[in-house]
Chains A and B, each alone.
Chain A
Amino acid sequence: MSYQVPGHVHHRTVDDEVVVFDGQTETYLGLNSTATIVWLVLVAGDSTGAAADALVAQTGVAPEVALADTVALAADLVRRGLLEPTEG
């Protein structure tokens, strides 16, 4: 599945972390370095599979763990309104 960043959400990369601002709730969220790997792949329009691959490549975590964590993180970000699934 692929995702996009809603218009009310803005983000900036700081070193190996990302800070996300939700303009609707006026809240800030800091993503740790692992979540940042996933975030940067997803906001580029790539799939959870690609994000899991990036996680494996950059952290050495097992592929099945990477995919499960990526899917869980994406779901959490969608629940928080910071990402939205794209059509197709």
Chain B
Amino acid sequence: MNLWAAVERLVDEVTDPAVLQANGLQLIAARRWRITGRAVPAVWVEAERSAAITALAVPHLLIRIRGVVPGPILLLKGAEIAARYPDPALRPFGDLDLLVPNAETAERALHECGFRSAEGDAAVARPHHQPPLSWPRSPLPVELHHALPAPPWATAPPVAALVATAVPAATGVDGIETLPPEGHAVLLAAHAWLHYGPRLRVRDLIDVAVMVDGSDPAEVADLARAWGLGRVWTATQAAIHRLDRQRGGDLREPSLADEHLARWAGALWAPSPRAAPRALAQTIGRDLQPWPGEMWPARLARLGRAVPHALRSAGAYRSEKH
């Protein structure tokens, strides 16, 4: 399958910008629509500018972080994936995901050199990372991960084991590493599954496909099984192969409720049918519980803000920054 030909065909077939945006394809679509003579929405041109600024910010920010954070630093997801696209400017990302052996020490080091909370005084940690930080003159928040962002029922290896296998990151900044492509591809599938379950966005499929390109399929499948993600990996690979015959009209813009239900349904791809009930309970529990450090009233308030919008577009809801 020619991945990029399939993606371009999908982009050409979709007429609703919101659907392309919901599938993370806005930057690819902006370029494609310009080439094919279609009017590019102003919001996409702005997204292209933001992506350019973000891409310019990454090396500078990584050098600053490398200078103050001791020990290994592994760059995950967005910026590292973008480097594998035909043009990094086609892959949007909104933060810098860094996996470090001691996230609290790294967080302290960044605070001491001038990084601040990206979410103000009310910032709280998330299940896999510390509260986001930002450098005053950088557009890109930094998330220091103490664990891989994977479904709660997965058995991803501990950080120390991942660090031991690290390879230089594609950004070219000295001392910044990343996971080997095989592990990174499994992580990307796991992370996408964590958020979207079996209803993966097209961009998630592209990300996994570009990351795994050139790897031994059997080796990646073995790794996925070792992480308890064998069925997730098989389903993700099948979805990638289906891109070739998927029609633009099949793409949808999910509502908040759709996303939650798909995320919960993702637990059914736990390693075995016997493991599924527990995985489902873990997934729903994780979704409903407060984030680490968040109090129940704050969690209930977040839930209360979201419930009335359950049937609205998830993308539109998030863009309003509830």
Q: Contact residues of A with B, CB < 8 Å?
A: 10-15, 17, 19, 21, 23, 26-28, 30
Contact of A10 among B34, B49, B56, B137 (CB under 8 A): B56
B52 contacts partner chain A, Cβ-Cβ < 8 Å: yes
Instruction: Determine whether the beta carbon of A28 is less than 8 Å from that of B53.
Output: yes
Please give the distance in Å from A67's CB to the nearest CB on chain B.
29
Q: Is the interface of B mostly helix, strand, loop or mixed?
A: helix
B138 contacts partner chain A, Cβ-Cβ < 8 Å: yes
Instruction: Determine whether the beta carbon of A21 is less than 8 Å from that of B49.
Output: no
Contact of A15 among B48, B137, B138 (CB under 8 A): B48
Instruction: Determine whether the beta carbon of A21 is less than 8 Å from that of B60.
Output: yes
Chain B residues numbered 17-63 whose CB sits less than 8 Å from any CB in chain A: 34, 40, 45, 48-49, 51-53, 55-57, 59-60
- Determine the distance from Cα of A19 to Cα of B47 in the docked complex, in whole angstroms: 13
- Determine the distance from Cα of A11 to Cα of B49 in the docked complex, in whole angstroms: 11
Query: What are 12 A-to-B residue pairs whose CB atoms are below 8 Å?
Result: A12-B52, A13-B52, A14-B45, A14-B49, A14-B89, A15-B34, A15-B40, A19-B53, A19-B56, A21-B56, A21-B60, A30-B49
Instruction: Determine whether the beta carbon of A26 is less than 8 Å from that of B60.
Output: yes
Q: Which of B45, B49, B56, B57 has the most CB of A within 10 A?
A: B56
- Determine the distance from Cα of A11 to Cα of B53 in the docked complex, in whole angstroms: 9
Please give the distance in Å from A55's CB to the nearest CB on chain B.
22
Q: Is the interface of A mostly helix, strand, loop or mixed?
A: strand
- Determine the distance from Cα of A64 to Cα of B101 in the docked complex, in whole angstroms: 61
- Determine the distance from Cα of A2 to Cα of B59 in the docked complex, in whole angstroms: 28
- Determine the distance from Cα of A11 to Cα of B48 in the docked complex, in whole angstroms: 13
Q: A12-B89, A14-B48, A14-B89 are in contact. Are A26 and B53 (CB under 8 A)?
A: no
Please give the distance in Å from A37's CB to the nearest CB on chain B.
18
Q: A26-B60, A28-B56 are in contact. Are A19 and B137 (CB under 8 A)?
A: no
User: Which 8 residue pairs of A and B lie closest in terms of their CB atoms, listed nearest first?
Assistant: A26-B137, A21-B56, A12-B52, A19-B52, A14-B48, A14-B52, A10-B56, A23-B60
Please give the distance in Å from A4's CB to the nearest CB on chain B.
18
Please give the distance in Å from B41's CB to the nearest CB on chain A.
12
Chain B residues numbered 280-309 whose CB sits less than 8 Å from any CB in chain A: none
- Determine the distance from Cα of A58 to Cα of B249 in the docked complex, in whole angstroms: 39
- Determine the distance from Cα of A15 to Cα of B42 in the docked complex, in whole angstroms: 12
Q: Nearest residue in B to A30 (C-beta to C-beta)?
A: B49
- Determine the distance from Cα of A80 to Cα of B59 in the docked complex, in whole angstroms: 21
- A residues near B138, Cβ cutoff 8 Å: 26
Q: Nearest residue in A to B61 (C-beta to C-beta)?
A: A26
Chain B residues numbered 55-102 whose CB sits less than 8 Å from any CB in chain A: 55-57, 59-60, 89
